[in-house]
Amino acid sequence: MKKMFETKINQLKDLIDKELVNIYPNGPTLLNEPINYIISGGKRLRPILCLLVCESFDCSIQKAVIPGLSIELLHIFSLIHDDVMDKDQYRHNQLTIHRKWNTSVAILSGDAILALAFKRLNKTSNNIKELFNSALIAVCEGQALDIEFENLKNVSVKQYLEMINLKTGHMLGLSAELGGILSKLHKEELFKLREYGNLIGRAFQIQDDILEVISNKKIMGKSLNSDLLLGKKTYPMILAQSKFKKDINYIRKVALNDKEKANLLFKDLLINEDIIERCMKFVDEIFLKANSLVESIDNNNNLINFTKFLQERKC
């Protein structure tokens, strides 16, 4: 059963990948090379979710390929620019664009990929275009809050959730809703799908925060450990700060002289004091809540299987 679903996921991924390789065949070298370099990596989770919803509701998957592609492009655009802002060195097991080329090329490729996303969108309805726009603004606002929080001493769980809703939840919510719109579902079902997407997006982001601590660079395919050093407010960090203020202050002091040691101490604290376990429990609760929203409309278990697929991810 699990294997069958994974095969399905891979087939849907192939559909998107096939479109992606033709996204920018010509143009100036300094755009063409980085664009075709960066589109080679990625899990394509957002378009896959969109396509899965379409399949669940007997809507032709082909209809969803172009909107799905636009979602993925918008996602790639945001990763390129975020990696510059967060000074990340690796993504999908390869150097980030700003590291392989430079910041200018990264800014420019991101901009061009966004333009390509909007170009594909022109073939869709005005409603879909408007939803895309709101998602783009949400992604920017989420990233702005993320940077703002770096300079705040204390960030509440509520503030953190608001930030990741904008940064990650909104786009996954849109992906699910888009599948519903293409399947001509009613308002009520669309609302459920969007909420489902928002929640798995939220869980996904916290999973990322956890994986930054317990996974390793090779599995994750991206630079780890940058979060603590940049003062990023992750969910484990917020929990740790509220319960182990003294330890965090000490680790911060250590970081001034020995970043490596500080990271090891931080990791140790999160694991030994069961913070990571609490985070994992919270993630499971969110996934459960997401499922409860769509159980009644999930005809062929696509969404419940998708949740499970995400829940078990190691990278």
Contacts with a second copy, residue ranges (CB under 8 A): 27-31, 81, 84-85, 103-105, 107-108, 110-112, 114-116, 118-119, 122, 126, 129-130, 133-134, 136-137, 140-141, 143-145, 147-148
- 206, 282 in Cβ contact below 8 A? yes
Beta carbon of residue 129, minimum distance to a second copy (angstroms, whole number): 6
* Whole-angstrom distance, CA of residue 124 vs CA of residue 233: 37
Cβ atoms within 10 Å, residue 159? 15
Q: How far is the CB of 126 from a second copy (least distance, A)?
A: 6
Least distance (Å) between residue 162 CB and a second copy: 10
What is the nearest approach in angstroms of a second copy to the Cβ of residue 2?
39
CA proximity to 128, closest of 80, 78, 176, 178: 178
Q: Which residues, 6 or more positions from 139, have their beta carbon under 8 angstroms from its beta carbon? A: 74, 78, 166, 167, 170, 171
Report the alpha-carbon distance of residue 65 to residue 295 in Å, rounded: 25
23 within 8 A of 35, measured Cβ to Cβ = yes
Closer residue to a second copy (CB): 110 or 201: 110
CA separation for the pair 223, 233 (Å, rounded): 17
Question: Which of residues 48 and 112 has its CB atom nearest to a second copy in the complex?
Answer: 112
How many whole angstroms separate alpha carbon 20 and alpha carbon 9? 16
CB nearer to a second copy: pick between 21 and 137: 137
CB closer to a second copy out of 169 and 236:
169
Q: Which two structure tokens, joined as six digits, stand for 126?
A: 């005005």
Cβ 78 to a second copy, closest distance in Å? 8
Structure tokens at 156: 């509440």
- Kindly tell me which of 40 and 103 has the beta carbon lying closer to a second copy: 103
C-alpha of 169 from chain center: 8
Which lies closer to a second copy via its Cβ, residue 104 or residue 292? Answer: 104
Single-letter residue type at 183: S
**75 or 81: CB nearest a second copy:** 81
Q: How far is the CB of 32 from a second copy (least distance, A)?
A: 9
Give the angle 127-35-306 at the CA atoms, nearest 5°.
55
Which CB atom, from 43 or from 129, has the smaller least distance to a second copy?
Answer: 129
- Smallest distance from the beta carbon of 133 to a second copy, in angstroms? 5
Cβ proximity to a second copy, 133 vs 292, nearer residue: 133
Strands (E), the chain: 90-91, 94-95
Assigned token pair, 221: 């395919």
Cβ at position 150, least distance to a second copy in Å: 10
First to last CA, the chain: 21
Contacts of 143 by beta carbon, 8 Å cutoff, 6+ apart? 78, 81, 82, 85, 167
The tally of CA atoms less than 13 A away on the side-chain side of residue 49 is 29
Distance of closest approach, residue 179 Cβ to a second copy, in angstroms: 21
